[in-house]
Amino acid sequence: MTKVSMIGVGKLGEPCAEVIGKFHPLVGYDISPKQPKNFEMVSSLEEAVKHGEIIFIAAPTPHDPAYDGREPTSHLPNKDFDYKVVKNILVKVNEYADKSKLVVLISTVLPGTTRRELEPLIRNARFAYNPYLIAMGTVAWDFSNPEMIMIGTSDGSENGDAKKLIDFYKPMMKNNPRYVVGTWDECECIKIFYNTFISAKLSLVNMIQDVAERQGNINVDIVTNALKDSDQRIMGPRYMTAGMGDGGACHPRDNIALRFMSQNLNLGYDLFDSIMQAREIQAKNLAKTLVDFGLPVVIVGKAYKPHVPYEEGSYSILVGHYVKKFGKSLFYHDEFTGDKYPEDLGPATFLLAHDPETTFLDCLDPDPDKNTSFVFPEGSFIVDPWRKHPPVQNCKVIHYGNTRK
């Protein structure tokens, strides 16, 4: 077993540490009190550094909250992540470390940041960059079932510290992920462009949805299902269903940071700004559809995805921003964020922001009298951008993106 330390026991660090702590003796350090199950907390950063053979840094690299994607961002100036917290931790870690220690950064940074700004702060220990592909609300599962594990070292060698980390991870993995070893810069690129590819795919399929709404006589699912199966040229079926735009703590902010990088490198074009503009215009188009029914609007699902309380980067809130701009009354309904629309509201326009197959567990029952666990007031409009909800008596269900006659 390997002695491990996790510095930063927050939304990312704590779930990962809980998994690692089942396999290795692990201690955690954080400025906020924690009560973990599978590891112990120590009271000082010095204790954490001295304990660990491998020292993970899971510190935030935040943007200004205005950049998280709940409100429009394309008009804001380009801006990098904030590395102050990470840098302060690395300086302190360096004071107590020696060459027997491997310091591993798992926070998201722009390409080139580790080489230019972060690794030079660690002179007394070894350094690796090892970001995770996880989503808030499912961190522990994502950690144990990754699509791939990225390990960045100074020279991209698969020996030495990269091999040490591969051997460290293998017993903890529930699947059989591929291991990608590269330089720090290469792994920084993989991590942040992974998210951007998802954003771009969602923007493209939602553009098809916009075309269906404007052109008419198009079922967007017929189009996207054909494209999903064209995997020789188009990458796989995931994120190829038109619906709500991308969200979460990473996707909008990563695109904004890449806008900053594009400008600094003088690329001469800004694809990332186009992705963010498309995201906002698509949200505005959906909001316009909602308000045109002339009723108060209820967005069912406020968090960035179902069954979690996290609102960072929520596309639902971005749509709500435009609903309010159009001057309509707006309510949210989401048991995980604590939001509930007024029971005496009467008829309204409901947006099913979360996939009803996931959120309304019995909504696909073929019997219309049993088709939902959610009660819609008589005379309401139900806008379903997933195109799955069956008819509801005395209400009108609109499958947004299917204008086939």
| pLDDT at 367 (0 to 100) | 52
Between residues 366 and 17, the one the model is more confident about: 17
DSSP codes joined into one string, 169-193 = HGGG-SS--EEEEEEHHHHHHHHHH
Question: Torsion-angle region of residue 265: left (phi > 0), alpha (psi -120 to 50) or beta?
Answer: alpha
| pLDDT at 47 (0 to 100) | 97
Tell me what percent of the residues of the chain surpass a pLDDT of 70: 96
| pLDDT at 361 (0 to 100) | 46
Between residues 358 and 305, the one the model is more confident about: 305
User: CA 43 to CA 56: how far, in whole Å?
Assistant: 17
Q: What number is the average pLDDT over the span 54-75?
A: 86
Per residue in 277-331, pLDDT (tens digit) is: 889 999 999 999 999 999 999 999 999 999 899 998 899 999 999 999 999 999 9
Whether residue 121 has pLDDT greater than 50: yes
DSSP category for residue 24:
S
Domain residues of the chain, as ranges? 4-193, 219-399
Whether residue 253 has pLDDT greater than 80: no
Say if residues 233 and 217 touch (Cβ distance below 8 Å): no
Q: What number is the average pLDDT over the span 55-72?
A: 86
| pLDDT at 394 (0 to 100) | 94
| pLDDT at 127 (0 to 100) | 97
CATH code that applies to domain 4-193: 3.40.50.720
| Structure tokens, 27 | 């201690």
| pLDDT at 338 (0 to 100) | 95
Query: Could you give phi then psi for residue 104, rounded to 5 degrees?
Result: -125, 115
Distance, first Cα to last Cα, the chain: 64
Whether residue 205 has pLDDT greater than 50: yes
Alpha-carbon distances of 335 from 88, 246, 300, 309, 339, rounded to whole Å = 38, 21, 10, 8, 6
**Same-fold call for 4-193 versus 219-399:** yes
DSSP category for residue 25:
-
Query: Could you give phi then psi for residue 6, rounded to 5 degrees?
Result: -120, 110
Q: Say if strands 26-29 and 4-7 run parallel, antiparallel, or are unpaired.
A: parallel
User: CA 395 to CA 405: how far, in whole Å?
Assistant: 19
Whether residue 368 has pLDDT greater than 70: no
Query: Residue 370 — very low, low, confident or very high, per pLDDT cuts 50/70/90?
Result: very low
Q: Match 């993995």 to its residue by tokens.
A: 173
CATH architecture of the region 219-399: 3-Layer(aba) Sandwich (3.40)
381: which strand partners? 349, 396
Helix (H, G, I), strand (E, B) or coil at 152: strand
Query: Residue 69 — very low, low, confident or very high, per pLDDT cuts 50/70/90?
Result: confident
User: CA 147 to CA 176: how far, in whole Å?
Assistant: 8
